[in-house]
Amino acid sequence: MSSYHGTSSKGRLRRIFDSTAVRLTVLFIVFMWTLPTAGMLVSSFRAPIDIRTSGWWTVFLPPYSLSQWTLENYQNVITADGMGAAFINSFIVTIPATVIPITIAAFAAYAFAWMKFRGRDLLFALVVAMLVVPLQMALIPVLRLYTGLDLNGTFLGVWLAHTGFGLPLAIFLFYGYISLLPRELFESAWIDGASHYTAFTRLVLPLSVPAIASFAIFQFLWVWNDLLVALVFLGTNPEVTIVTSRLAAMVGTKGQDWHLLTAGAFVSMVVPLIIFLALQRYFVRGLLAGSVKG
Amino acid sequence: MAHVDASEKQEMGVGARFIAFISSVFLAVIIPLIAFAVIYAGFIFLRDSNAPKWVITLVAIVWGVGGIAVLYWVFNGLVERLPPAWTARLQPFVFVGPALAILVWYLALPTARTFWLSLHDRNADAFVGLANYSAIFTERVMREAFRNNLMWIIFGSTFSVLFGLLVATLADRSRWERVSKTFIFLPMAISFVGAGVIWNFIYEVRPVTVPQIGLLNAIVVALGGTPKPWYAWTDIIPWNNLFLIVIVVWLQAGFSMVLFSAALKGIPSELMEAGRVDGASEIQIYFRIMLPYIRGTIITVWTTIVIFTLKIFDVVWVMTGGQFGTEVIATQFFRQSFVARNSGFGSAIAIILLLAVIPVMIYNLRQFREQEAF
C-alpha cells in the first residue's frame, strides 16, 4: 500500500526497524486476541480435576503426558447435558430462519426497485423506518399474540419472529444491490415478453447471489448466536431449546463445572466458526454493505 | 404473452371459451385453496406433532422454505391470469405484500402496542398515564442502568474504534495481513453466551491459598498481587463494568477493523504521494491526510457500535445477570417484562430504548447513503 522512497542506508535501516516493530505489534495483538479462545479450547480437553487444580497454561510445561487429555467432557455435555439435542434444534431454528427472510425480502426488494405501484416510496420509507426499531419493542406484544395462536415454544413461532426482525435489513440490503443492476438488462427481458416473475427468478435471483450470500451468513450467525429471541419465544424446554439458551442455563446452574462449560461453549461455537472461516469473503462484503442489525 | 392469448381466444368457439373460462376460474380458486390447505396442515403438524425429531426437522425445512416459495408462485400465477391492466396493478403487491404484512405484524404494530402498554399498569388493566416513565427516571436501579449504558457507549465504542483503527493500519503494512486479520476477526462469529463462558474463565477467581485457574488472576498473583473478582468487584463500582466492556471490544474490534481497512485501502495513492512530495512524515500523512479522508467511515463505525452498546443484553445477562452494579437498560427491560411480569414498566423501558436509538440510527443511515455502499 505504501511505497517508501528512502534509498539511503539510514532510510533502509529505519524501514527494517519500522516493519519489525509493526510485525511484533501485530503478532502481539493477534496473540492477545486468540488467547481467550485458546484457553477455553485447551481446557475443554482436560480432566475435571486438572481444570480445577491448575491453570490451562500448565499443559505447555513439562511433563507432557498424553494421558491428561480426554474427550469425556464432550461426551458428557453432548449427552447428559443435552447439548447434542440443542445442537440439532439450533439447525432446525437457523436454516428456515435464514431462508424465509431471504425469499420474502428478495421479492420485496425487486418490487421496490423495478415495479411501479402506488405508494411505493411511502412503503419503502416504512421498511427503512423499521430498521431503527430495536427488537425489544416487539417482544411483549408478539409474545401475547403468540399465546393466543398457541405459537409459544414452537419452531414456527421463532422462525417467523426472526424473519420479522431480519426483514428490514434484508430488504434494505437487497434493494441496494438489485436497484443497481443495469436497466438495459430488464428492458431487453421485458421486450422479449418476460413477466416480472420470470425476470425476478431467472435474472435477478442468479445475479444477486453475492448480496444474498452476504445476508445469509449474517442472518445465520445472528440466529445461531442469538439468546434473547430464543429465550423469549422458545424457552428452556429441552425439546426445543437451542445451544445458546442451553449454554446460558448451564452457566447459571453449573457455573463452576469448567470442564462442562468449556466443552459446551465449543460445541455451540463450532458451526459459526466453520461457516465464518469458509465464507469470510462474503461476510466481509456484507459488513461493508451495512449488514449490521438495527 | 397476453397478445398471443387474445388472438387464440378469438379463434375458439363459444363453448370452448366457456370451458376455458370455467377451468381458469376453477384453477384460480382450487390451486390457492390446495396451497393453503397444505401449508396449514404443515403448520398444524409442526405445532402439535410428536413425530420423531428428524421427521419434524425435515418437514420443517421443506415446509418453511418450500411453503413460502409455493405461496409466491401461486399468487403470482393468479394475478398473471387477470387482464394485463389488473396484473400490472396487483402484481407489485404480490411481491411486497408478504414482506409488508410481516413487518407490520412483527415490528410496526408491536411498537404501537408497546407504547400503549407503557401507559398502563403491570397487567395492562388500568391506564396510568406517564407513571411508568417517571418511575424509570426515579428508580435507583434504572439510574444505575442508565449510568452503565453511558459507560458502555463511551468506552465500548471508543475502544472498538481505536483498536480497529490500530489493527487496520498496522495489519495493512504487515506481511501476514490476511492471517492476522482473520484471527482478530474470528471472535465476531462467537455468540455472546460463548464469549461469556470464555471470559468468565479468564476472570475466574479462587481463594488465595489455592492456585489460580483464571488467567488474569494467575498473572496478578505471579506479580505479587492478590486475586480480584474483577467484574464482580463491588469496591470499584462502576468501573467493574469495564471488565464486561472488554468482552464486547474483543468481539467487535474485527468489525471496525474490516471497515477501516477497506476505507484505508480506498484512499487514492496520489493523495499520499502529494503529501510525501511536500515533505510530510509518515505520521503526518496518517493523521493529516488518511484519517480525515476516512472520517465518514469512522463516524459510521462509531454510531453502529453506539447503537449496539445501547441495546447490549446478552453479555451482561450471562456474566452477571445485572448483579454487582452492572445492570443495563436491556437487562432491566428483560427482568421487568419476563421475570417481574410488569408489562407496563417493561414496555416503557423499551420505548425509552427506541427513543435513544432513533437519532443515532438516522445519523448512521444518512452516513451510509453518502458512502454508497456495495
Give the B window 173-212 contacts with A, CB below 8 Å: 173-176, 180, 182-194, 196-202, 204, 210-212
Residues 6+ apart with CB under 8 A from A54: B211, B213
**CB pair distance less than 8 Å for B109 and A27:** no
- Measured CA to CA, the distance from residue A280 to residue B171 in angstroms comes to 17
Of B264, B337, B351, the CB nearest to A139: B337
Model confidence over B12-37: pLDDT tens digits? Answer: 567 777 777 777 667 667 766 777 77
Strand partners, B120: B127
What one-letter code names the amino acid at B179?
A: V
The answer to whether A280 faces chain B, any CB pair under 8 Å, is yes
Q: Which residues of chain B does CATH 1.10.3720.10 include?
A: 132-203+233-371
Q: Does B62 touch chain A (CB under 8 A)?
A: no
Q: What is the pLDDT of residues B265-305, one digit of tens each?
A: 888 888 888 888 888 787 888 888 888 888 888 888 888 88
Q: How far apart are CA B305 and CA B307, in angstroms?
A: 5
Residue B294 CA to residue B9 CA, distance in Å, equals 64
Are A212 and A52 a contacting pair, CB within 8 Å?
no
What pLDDT, in 10s, does the model give residues A12-65?
666 666 677 888 888 888 888 888 888 888 888 888 887 777 777 877 777 777
Q: First CA to last CA across chain B, in angstroms?
A: 36
Together in a domain, A108 and A129: yes
Q: Among B68, B176, B362, select the one facing A103 at the smallest CB separation.
A: B68
Go through chain B and tell me how many residues it has. 374
Which of A7-11, A277-281, B143-147 shows the lowest mean pLDDT across its residues? A7-11
pLDDT bracket for residue A11 (50, 70, 90):
low
DSSP state of B214: S
**Given a cut of 70, is residue B174 above it in pLDDT?**
no
Please tell me whether residues A98 and A159 are part of one structural domain. Answer: yes
Four-point Cα dihedral B364, B301, B289, B281, nearest 10 = 170
Which of B167, B282, B353 faces A136 most closely, judged by CB atoms? B353
Number of domains in chain A: 2
How is residue A149 written as a grid cell? 395462536
**Domain end position, chosen among A18, A39, A70:** A70
CB–CB contact A289 B171 (8 Å)? no
Is A1 contained in some domain?
no
Provide the residue range defining the domain that includes A38: 9-70
Q: How much is the ipTM here?
A: 0.82
Rg (CA), chain A: 25
pLDDT of the residue at B371: 55
Taking the Cβ of residue B302 and every Cβ of chain A, the question of whether any pair is shorter than 8 Å is answered with no
Do A169 and A248 fall into the same domain? yes
Residue A27 sits in the same domain as residue A116:
no
A119: alpha, beta or left, given left = phi > 0 and alpha = psi -120 to 50?
left
**pTM for this model (two decimals):** 0.82
Determine, for residues B180 and A30 on separate chains, whether the beta-carbon distance falls below 8 Å: yes
* A38 and A181 part of one domain: no
How many CB contacts within 8 angstroms connect chain A with chain B? 335
Decide which of A51, A70, A89 is a domain's last residue.
Answer: A70
Last residue of a domain, one of A55, A70, A85: A70
Selecting from A1, A104, A277 the residue whose C-beta is nearest the C-beta of B98 gives A104
Asked if A243 and A151 sit in the same domain, the reply is yes
Query: Residue A46's beta-bridge partner residues?
Result: A69
Check residue A4 and give its pLDDT: 46
pLDDT above 70 as % of chain B: 89
Judged by DSSP in three states, B120 sits in strand
Residues A50 and A193 in one domain: no
In A, which residues are within 8 Å of B321 by CB distance?
252
Q: Looking at the domain assignment, is residue A50 inside a domain?
A: yes
CB contact under 8 A, B198 and A137: no
Top-level CATH class of B132-203+233-371? mainly alpha
Averaged pLDDT for residues A154-178: 87
